[in-house]
Structure formats: structure tokens, C-alpha cells
């Protein structure tokens, strides 16, 4: 058996392997080059780098080299594995021998005939664990200083690659979300119609947009509060500047002050770098406070100061910072009732509601249902690549009779379901309208069991996502959000929403 103490007899070779991992060739990812180089440098059986999925307590391998080949699609639960102590202790962990006996529930260790294991967490600039780098071997792996030093060098490289990859993914997701919102703005769905109620909304938008007056947009779920806020921004003198959106319900209470106002390096545990808040990012632009009624009571005085004096103090700072921000807030709550109940400050309510703008629910502007339906049919059919016919009189009459508790967003979803299940371009409202949902056939579910088409499965998935969003008050991310309810990452849920035509439609 080879002597494990004679590993790394050629340190230069280890460094060459590390540098090779930084220069991935065509068709090879930096992570694949890195783990293969690490396995060769330490002369171990396997090496892998992962991304940590904290919502599900799982690790997903970005590259895994074992023996003489890469292991594809490797993802696993953390509990009971040799990787769990790495995440729990948040430091380098080495089990030099008998690792399979120490973790009897980790079947993969036995499958790989592992005798030893070493792993280290990979962190972001604020100290949060993003994933980990690990190696296993079929021989003992002693804590030899040179071996540990080389392993840490590879870990630093892996952390840098992982931070870059996640930053690029976040940028792509932000770009996708911005594209979804641009599509919504270009469609003007919330402002399509000919009713007197909508004409009054347009008139008020035109009146308030040119100045810097704080606006409070009020309305039920799905009435288009964010679209109206965006319209105000686009018609203002600040249109060339940033429109920064904050979903007050999606941010954990412990992080919301830092999210709003930023923080200084060392302001709290894990604050390893200075970070700008949303107020700073919106300087000379517009800040949209979505679901403002969900703000914690303890943060409301600081928001009031920022609105009144145009300044705030980042967490950990000793000086106030001046900003020039126009604030537009939105809520589906009755803030006056919240004030009476002691859950919302009265002075903040009056500061936000300088110009209240109420959006009527769709049931109060039934004259707009026909033009909205026609707009949605045309847009969605083109996106689906399906032939379509304009809604007939019978279809429009049925749409007008429905009460639309989900408002414009629900109408759009119903139109898409009707197009997905249509066979000749005619809207299939029998299956799309909730009131017309088919009942189970006589004899129970088994009697009517049949194979569903792909389009029907997509419609079912879409219905499920809509129910999850409705149950969570429209929130995608954060505690109590739809992503948590469905057991997926917020980015994964948004991606599915986009694929099903729900992209960028988080409820305001």
C-alpha cells in the first residue's frame, strides 16, 4: 500500500494543477478542471465542489471527480453525511481514517470504499456558506501541513469561482426579471381598457407623475399596483434613473434595516464588507416599496426619518447619508385599520399617503374585460405558437359574468389556460374558468383515469403555482413565501413561472 505520508513530494506539480484549473479549456468548466487537479495534486481517489441549498439542506455538486471519471448530476441530503460537520462547524474538517464507520448512514462513502475525508466550507464576502470543497481517499489522509496548505489554496480558488458563478447567475436572473417587467410595462395590461374608472386612474397618474410627490397605490391583489408605480416613474423626470423595487414582505425582519439602508463592514456578525442599501441604489431615482403594510413596526420610525429628512444611517455607520429619492408605496391592506390596531404608525401612514391612488378591482370595471381579454389572447397565442380566434360574444359574456377575485392577473391566467387547452383556436373556458371546472366522473377518479397531454400537465402545474402564490399572499421569496411552501429555491420558482407565462408577476 502506498505511504500516505509521501503525498505532495512535488509541490510545484500541485501549484501547476491549481493554475490549470483557472484556465478551463473548451467544453470543460473551471470546476471540473479544479477538482480533477485537486485529486491529482493530493493523490486522492475523489474530489468535488458543491453549491449549498440551505432551503432543502442539500448539496449539489458542480463537479465531482471520482477514480478516473466525472460523476454527473450528484446531489444529496446533508444530514448524516461526512459533509454535515463542515457546514455545522463552518471550518475545515478532516477525518483521517475510518470515515465510513463514523458516518454509517452515508452509503456513498462505502460505495466509494472511502477511508478518509477532508472538507472545507466556501463562503461569500459576507461570510455566508455558499458550498464546500471536499476530497475522499481509500487510504488514510493525515493532517500533514503541506497537504492542508495545498487543500486550502484549492479551496480559495473554488470559493472565488463559486462566487463568480453565483454572481453571474444572479445577474442573469435580475436581467430576466427586468425583461419580464419590461414586457409587462410594454403590454400596459393594467392600464388597458375604456371604463370611466380606468380613465380616472390614468388621469391621476398623469397629474402626479411629473413631480416628486410620495404616492400610495392602493388596491386588491392582481390589480396592477407595480405597473402603475412603474408608469408613474416612466412619466416622471426621474425616468432615466433607477426604479428600485423592494418587497417588504419578502425580507426577513432581521435583515430589513440592512436591506433598506445598507451596512458598514463589521456592523454585525458576517458583515465582512460594506454594502449599499436600496435607498442608496435609488438615489436620484424612484424607490417602490411593495407590500409596505408588512413593514415591522420597529423599522417604521427609520423609514419615516428617511422620508421626512432625506437621510438615513447605514447599519454600523456614525454619520447620516443624504439621498434624493422619490418613494412610491403599495399595499393591499387597509392601512388605516392597521393604524387603529397599532400595527402601523399613524405619522408614517400620513407621510406615505400624500397622494393616495386607488386601483379599482376588475369587477368594478367590467367594460375593460373585453379589451383586456383580446390583448391577452393575441399576446399569449403568439408566445405559445398557437392559432387563435378573437373571443366571441358568448366567451366575452362569460368572462364578464365572473367576479375575478384575482383581478387582471387572474384574467390573464384564465386566458392562457383557455388557449393551452384549445384545439381550434377557440377559447376553452369550460376548463379554464374556475366556476366551470369539470367534476370527477361517476364511479370515482379511477373510472375517468386517462393519460394527460403535456399541455394539460403544464396547465395543472400552472394552477398549482397560482394556488401557492394565492395561499402565500403573492410572495415568492422569504419566510412564508411560495418558494418555501413548494420546497424550491425562489430562483427556481421564478424560472418555472417564466416558463409557464407567470414570470415577473409577483403579487404587489
Distance (Å, whole) CA 15 – CA 419: 59
Please report the pLDDT score of residue 450 as a whole number. Answer: 46
Q: Quote the number of domains for the chain.
A: 3
Residue with cell 399595499: 331
Query: Is residue 180 in a domain?
Result: no
The whole domain housing 430 covers: 363-499
Grid cell locating 53 = 441549498
Question: Are residues 269 and 247 both part of a single domain?
Answer: yes
pLDDT band, residue 451 (cuts 50/70/90) = low
For residue 487, is pLDDT > 90?
no
Handedness of CA 330, 219, 407, 434 (dihedral sign): positive
Question: Are residues 380 and 353 both part of a single domain?
Answer: no
Question: Are residues 236 and 367 both part of a single domain?
Answer: no
- The half-sphere exposure of 238 on its side-chain side, counting CA atoms within 13 A, is 25
Instruction: Judge contact between 172 and 143, C-beta under 8 A.
Output: no
Three-state DSSP state, 227:
helix
Query: Is residue 279 in a domain?
Result: yes
Instruction: Judge contact between 359 and 314, C-beta under 8 A.
Output: no
For residue 306, is pLDDT > 50?
yes
Question: Are residues 368 and 345 both part of a single domain?
Answer: no
Grid cell locating 103 = 458516518
Q: How many CB atoms lie within 10 A of CB 250?
A: 22
Question: Are residues 432 and 477 both part of a single domain?
Answer: yes
Question: Are residues 345 and 395 both part of a single domain?
Answer: no
Q: In the listed set 360, 388, 412, which residue is the last one of a domain according to the structure?
A: 360
Question: Are residues 345 and 368 both part of a single domain?
Answer: no
Distance (Å, whole) CA 292 – CA 129: 30
Residue with cell 466525472: 70
Question: Are residues 474 and 489 both part of a single domain?
Answer: yes
Question: Are residues 373 and 274 both part of a single domain?
Answer: no
Tally of residues, the chain: 508
- Chain segment 4-63, per-residue pLDDT in tens: 444 555 545 555 555 554 444 444 788 999 999 999 999 999 999 999 988 788 999 999
Please report the pLDDT score of residue 216 as a whole number. Answer: 97
Mean pLDDT rounded to a whole number for the chain? 83
- Chain segment 371-412, per-residue pLDDT in tens: 999 888 888 888 888 888 888 888 899 999 999 999 998 999
Query: Is residue 394 in a domain?
Result: yes
Query: Is residue 508 in a domain?
Result: no
The enclosing domain of 117 has a CATH number of 3.30.450.40
Which segments of 264-312 are extended strands (E)? 286-290, 311-312
- Indicate the angle between helix axes 225-234 and 196-208, nearest 10 degrees: 40
Three-state DSSP state, 430:
helix
Grid cell locating 508 = 404587489
Q: 470, 452, 456, 461: which is closest to 499 by C-alpha?
A: 461
The enclosing domain of 396 has a CATH number of 1.10.8.60
Query: Is residue 506 in a domain?
Result: no
Query: Is residue 20 in a domain?
Result: yes
The enclosing domain of 278 has a CATH number of 3.40.50.300
Distance (Å, whole) CA 368 – CA 90: 57
Distance (Å, whole) CA 211 – CA 402: 38
Distance (Å, whole) CA 248 – CA 155: 36
For residue 134, is pLDDT > 70?
yes
Q: 62, 71, 75: which is closest to 31 by C-alpha?
A: 62
Q: In the listed set 360, 389, 422, which residue is the last one of a domain according to the structure?
A: 360
Measured over all CA atoms, what is the biggest interatomic distance in the chain, rounded to whole angstroms?
87
Which segments of 54-125 are extended strands (E)? 58-66, 69-70, 75-77, 93-95, 116-123
Query: Is residue 299 in a domain?
Result: yes
Residues in Cβ contact with 39 at an 8 Å cutoff, skipping those fewer than 6 apart: 45, 46, 47, 65, 135
- Indicate the angle between helix axes 145-187 and 11-21, nearest 10 degrees: 0
Question: Are residues 241 and 309 both part of a single domain?
Answer: yes
Query: Is residue 505 in a domain?
Result: no
Lowest mean pLDDT among 80-94, 242-256, 307-321, 464-478: 464-478
Question: Are residues 356 and 240 both part of a single domain?
Answer: yes
Q: In the listed set 333, 360, 387, which residue is the last one of a domain according to the structure?
A: 360
For residue 281, is pLDDT > 50?
yes
Question: Are residues 312 and 387 both part of a single domain?
Answer: no
Kindly report the pTM of this predicted structure: 0.53
Amino acid at each position: 500500500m502506498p505511504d500516505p505520508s509521501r503525498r505532495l513530494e512535488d509541490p510545484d506539480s500541485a501549484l501547476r494543477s491549481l493554475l490549470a484549473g483557472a484556465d478551463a479549456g473548451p467544453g470543460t468548466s473551471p470546476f471540473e478542471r479544479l477538482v480533477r487537479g485537486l485529486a491529482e495534486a493530493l493523490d486522492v481517489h475523489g474530489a468535488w465542489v458543491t453549491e449549498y441549498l440551505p432551503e432543502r439542506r442539500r448539496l449539489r455538486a458542480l463537479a465531482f471527480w471520482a477514480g478516473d471519471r466525472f460523476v454527473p448530476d450528484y446531489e444529496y441530503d446533508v444530514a448524516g453525511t461526512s459533509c454535515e460537520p463542515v457546514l455545522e462547524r463552518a471550518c475545515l474538517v478532516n477525518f483521517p481514517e475510518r470515515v465510513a464507520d463514523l458516518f454509517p448512514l452515508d452509503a456513498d462513502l462505502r460505495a466509494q470504499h472511502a477511508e478518509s475525508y477532508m472538507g472545507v466550507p466556501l463562503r461569500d464576502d459576507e461570510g455566508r456558506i455558499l458550498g464546500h470543497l471536499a476530497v475522499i481517499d481509500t487510504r488514510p489522509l493525515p493532517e500533514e501541513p503541506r497537504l492542508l496548505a495545498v487543500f486550502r489554496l484549492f479551496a480559495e480558488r473554488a470559493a472565488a469561482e463559486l462566487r463568480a458563478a453565483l454572481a453571474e447567475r444572479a445577474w442573469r436572473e435580475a436581467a430576466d426579471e427586468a425583461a419580464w417587467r419590461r414586457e409587462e410595462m410594454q403590454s400596459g395590461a393594467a392600464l388597458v381598457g375604456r371604463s370611466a374608472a380606468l380613465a380616472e386612474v390614468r388621469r391621476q397618474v398623469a397629474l402626479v407623475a411629473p413631480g416628486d410627490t410620495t404616492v400610495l397605490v392602493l388596491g386588491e391583489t392582481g390589480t396592477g399596483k407595480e405597473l402603475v408605480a412603474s408608469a408613474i416613474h416612466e412619466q416622471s423626470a426621474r425616468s432615466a434613473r433607477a426604479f428600485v423595487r423592494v418587497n417588504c414582505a419578502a425580507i426577513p425582519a432581521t435583515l430589513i434595516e440592512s436591506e433598506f439602508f445598507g451596512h458598514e463592514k463589521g456592523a454585525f456578525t458576517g458583515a465582512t464588507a460594506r454594502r449599499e442599501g436600496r435607498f442608496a441604489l435609488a438615489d436620484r431615482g424612484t424607490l417602490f416599496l411593495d407590500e409596505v403594510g408588512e413593514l415591522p413596526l420597529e423599522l417604521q420610525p427609520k423609514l419615516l426619518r428617511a422620508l421626512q429628512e432625506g437621510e438615513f444611517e447605514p447599519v454600523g455607520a456614525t454619520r447620516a447619508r443624504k439621498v434624493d429619492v422619490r418613494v412610491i408605496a403599495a399595499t393591499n391592506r387597509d392601512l388605516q385599520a392597521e393604524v387603529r390596531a397599532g400595527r402601523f404608525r399613524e405619522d408614517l401612514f400620513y407621510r406615505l399617503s400624500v397622494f393616495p391612488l386607488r386601483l379599482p378591482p376588475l369587477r368594478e370595471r367590467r367594460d375593460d374585460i373585453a379589451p383586456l381579454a383580446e390583448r391577452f389572447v393575441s399576446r399569449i397565442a403568439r408566445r405559445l405558437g398557437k392559432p387563435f380566434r378573437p373571443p366571441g360574444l358568448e366567451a366575452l359574456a362569460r368572462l364578464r359574468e365572473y367576479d375575478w377575485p384575482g383581478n387582471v392577473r387572474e384574467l390573464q391566467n384564465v386566458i392562457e389556460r383557455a388557449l393551452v387547452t384549445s384545439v381550434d383556436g377557440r377559447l376553452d373556458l369550460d376548463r379554464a374558468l374556475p366556476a366551470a371546472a369539470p367534476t370527477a366522473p361517476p364511479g370515482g377518479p379511477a373510472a375517468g383515469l386517462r393519460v394527460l397531454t403535456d399541455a394539460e400537465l403544464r396547465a395543472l402545474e400552472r394552477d398549482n403555482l397560482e394556488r401557492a402564490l394565492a395561499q402565500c399572499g403573492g410572495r415568492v421569496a422569504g419566510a412564508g413565501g411560495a418558494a418555501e411552501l413548494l420546497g424550491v429555491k425562489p430562483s427556481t420558482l421564478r424560472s418555472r413561472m417564466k416558463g409557464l407565462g407567470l414570470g415577473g408577476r409577483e403579487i404587489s
